[in-house]
Chains A and B, each alone.
Chain A
């Protein structure tokens, strides 16, 4: 069993950065598993592996399709873009229905500051 550091980069010109690590007995399995362990949310278009304690960087030989191809919006922030607006709409509807609960709450709903850490 080896530990492989998983490297990623946003654009082709960027240097490789460590984005996580994975246990696997060999490079092939590490490549196959690293893809879904660390890149299923579209965190990068390609990645590389480096066995911990060595210098050799091995790039993913076939990065096509990383992050999924078909309608993966449910795994991304942009799948939930309308939720804030929906909350406002539903609140307005509840007000109309007269079911909003009127108990003492912070003014302006501001979150309380952390007490002196």
Chain B
């Protein structure tokens, strides 16, 4: 069988709903797209630790101190799970981490922004984890079995974070005026990064990830589900969203939303987000400085 024939057969199998294991034969394009996607996902989990971990020392109660620590711990844990899946596709974690901290690979846009208050912690825990959960649940049906297994571990933990975020939100919204304002202010600042998170409206027929069943739903689909899940709840809590146009159009059966502008999105994708350089510098400094610890664990000596 020629390479092209093998690829066609592979494509037919996954289109028919069959799942791929790490030891199966894969087209080069499939392996590369998959590895890049999972690597970015793993990178995002570990970079996602950084905005939230700033609030662990500042949490306003013992219970939240514990739960926030556990949440950030989980995100690091998701990184561990996903890097392992990516490693089995052929790239070492050492190499992936090195590429990340030196700015050669990417991580999701939302983790390039600063946190300003406890309101941000609530928004991250509820709305951003909510957005992530929408996309992650879609991965439960992707074509690659090890990724599915990873998502079966990750999604329940993410749901837990969501409830935690919701709980934080409810306390703020039903608290003092200052607390309410803290949350509303955070929503105002985070809304367009969240819209950007789902990506620009894409052309499904040009989407390589959809083609290979790595993604199973379009950007727009996921964004619409996010709106339906969270916007009514926000409105029920008397919290507005900084998009004058946002409303559900019953006749079209979809949410109409205002263009948030995409210049900032492309800046962030290029590595010029507000906190990109700072956070990568932290990671790189830690990485370089602690090579001696890795040496003990991996047995790989490093240059002095």
- A interface residues, Cβ below 8 angstroms from B: 1, 3, 19-25, 29, 37, 40-41, 74-77, 79-80, 83, 86-87, 90-91, 93-94, 97, 99-107, 109-112, 114-115, 117
Contact = CB atoms under 8 A, between A and B. Distances in A.
Given A37-B80, A114-B221, A115-B221, A90 B237 contact: yes
B228 A101 contact: no
A20 B153 contact: yes
Give me the 9 closest cross-chain CB pairs, A-B, nearest first. A99-B238, A101-B235, A80-B163, A74-B67, A104-B247, A111-B228, A91-B236, A94-B238, A90-B174
Contacts of A41: 157
A107 B206 CA distance: 33
Contacts of B77: 37
Nearest to A110: B228
For the complex, would chain A's binding face be called helix, strand, loop or mixed by DSSP majority?
A: mixed
B233 A87 contact: yes
Interface string B217-255: 110110011001101111111111000001111100110
A25 B293 CA distance: 13
A48 to B, nearest CB: 17
A21 B163 contact: no
Nearest to A68: B70
B28 to A, nearest CB: 24
Contacts, number: 114
Given A40-B73, A77-B159, 15 more contacts: A23-B93, A37-B80, A75-B70, A79-B67, A80-B163, A83-B163, A83-B167, A90-B173, A100-B236, A101-B234, A103-B247, A106-B250, A112-B221, A112-B225, A112-B228
Range for the number of chain B residues in contact with chain A: 35 or more
B297 interface: yes
Contact of B167 (A77, A80, A99, A117): A80
Contacts of A83: 163, 166-167, 170
A21 B67 CA distance: 25
Contacts of B234: 101
B133 to A, nearest CB: 12
A8 to B, nearest CB: 11
A90 B87 CA distance: 46
Given A104-B247, A104-B249, A97 B299 contact: no
B290 interface: no
For the complex, would chain B's binding face be called helix, strand, loop or mixed by DSSP majority?
A: helix
B302 interface: no
A25 B297 contact: yes
A91 B236 CA distance: 6
Nearest to B233: A87
A83 B166 CA distance: 7
Given A101-B235, A114-B221, A24 B249 contact: no
A103 B235 contact: yes
B299 A105 contact: no
Contact of B298 (A25, A77, A87): A25
A12 B70 CA distance: 28
A111 B229 contact: yes
A31 to B, nearest CB: 14
Nearest to A106: B248
A20 B88 CA distance: 12
Interface string B165-177: 0110010011000
Contacts of A20: 81, 84, 153
A25 B299 contact: yes
6 contacts: A19-B153, A21-B84, A40-B73, A94-B238, A105-B232, A105-B235
Contacts of B298: 1, 23, 25
Contact of B160 (A29, A80, A86): A80
A61 B25 CA distance: 38
Contacts of B299: 1, 25
A5 to B, nearest CB: 10
B228 to A, nearest CB: 4
